């Protein structure tokens, strides 16, 4: 798949924003940084959902709105759709993306895990790497939450990454 220059720039901006918030502004308080990044995503999602729902009829129920996020909204953002949508029909939706574009350039260094003979604790190192990566996911979480909130569906969104670059977003609708 060809990539536009602007797409690569955006990837860079997102990564740099996350690292700026985690490493500089809120270096001591990672949970504050997460909240801040999520809030930026919220505003972005809020504004984008207004634009992308312009020419479509109103949604009748939650599922339709979530489907809109999975298909049209995701294709506008990432030129691809969500790969798998699961729901328990009681307000929880799992949106799974098998190749999330913002994670395609992230790799957890395998040498870190293999050189466990060194003095540092390998579990600790792997843990921080995973933590850094999970920071990248607060922004898209915020986007989803912002878009859904603007569509009249208050919800909580969390992300879960199992094996890169696949990840899943869990949407819990507040009743």
The DSSP symbol for 102 reads G
> Parallel, antiparallel, or unpaired for β 92-97 and 167-173?
antiparallel
We find the least distance from the C-beta atom of residue 153 to other proteins, in angstroms, to be 11
3-class secondary structure, 152:
coil
Listed in sequence order, the residues at least 6 apart from 43 whose beta carbon sits closer than 8 Å to its beta carbon are 142, 146
We find the least distance from the C-beta atom of residue 3 to other proteins, in angstroms, to be 25
Q: Which of 24, 56, 90, 174 binds other proteins (CB under 8 A)?
A: 56
Q: How far apart are CA 40 and CA 45, in angstroms?
A: 9
Instruction: State which of positions 136-155 bind other proteins (CB under 8 A).
Output: 150-152
State which residue, 47 or 92, has the beta carbon closest to other proteins: 47
Binding mask 4-43 for other proteins (x = CB under 8 A): ---------------------------------------x
Listed in sequence order, the residues at least 6 apart from 156 whose beta carbon sits closer than 8 Å to its beta carbon are 145, 171, 172, 174
Residue numbers at the binding site for other proteins (CB under 8 A): 43, 46-47, 49-51, 53-54, 56-60, 150-152
């Amino acid at each position: 798949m060809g990539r536009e220059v602007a797409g690569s720039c955006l990837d860079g901006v997102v990564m740099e924003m996350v690292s700026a918030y985690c490493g500089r502004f809120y270096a001591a308080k990672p949970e504050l940084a997460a909240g801040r990044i999520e809030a930026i995503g919220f505003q972005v999602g809020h504004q984008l959902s207004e634009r992308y729902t312009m020419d479509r009829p109103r949604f009748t129920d939650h599922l339709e709105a979530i489907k809109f996020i999975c298909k049209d909204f995701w294709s506008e953002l990432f030129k691809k759709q969500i790969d798998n949508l699961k729901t328990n029909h009681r307000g929880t939706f799992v949106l799974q993306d098998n190749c999330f574009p913002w994670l395609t350039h992230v790799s957890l260094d395998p040498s870190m895990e293999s050189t466990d003979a060194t003095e540092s604790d390998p579990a600790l190192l792997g843990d921080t790497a995973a933590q850094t990566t999970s920071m990248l996911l607060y922004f898209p979480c915020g986007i989803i939450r912002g878009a859904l909130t603007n569509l009249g569906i208050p919800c909580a969104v969390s992300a879960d990454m199992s094996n890169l670059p696949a990840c899943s977003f869990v949407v819990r609708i507040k009743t």
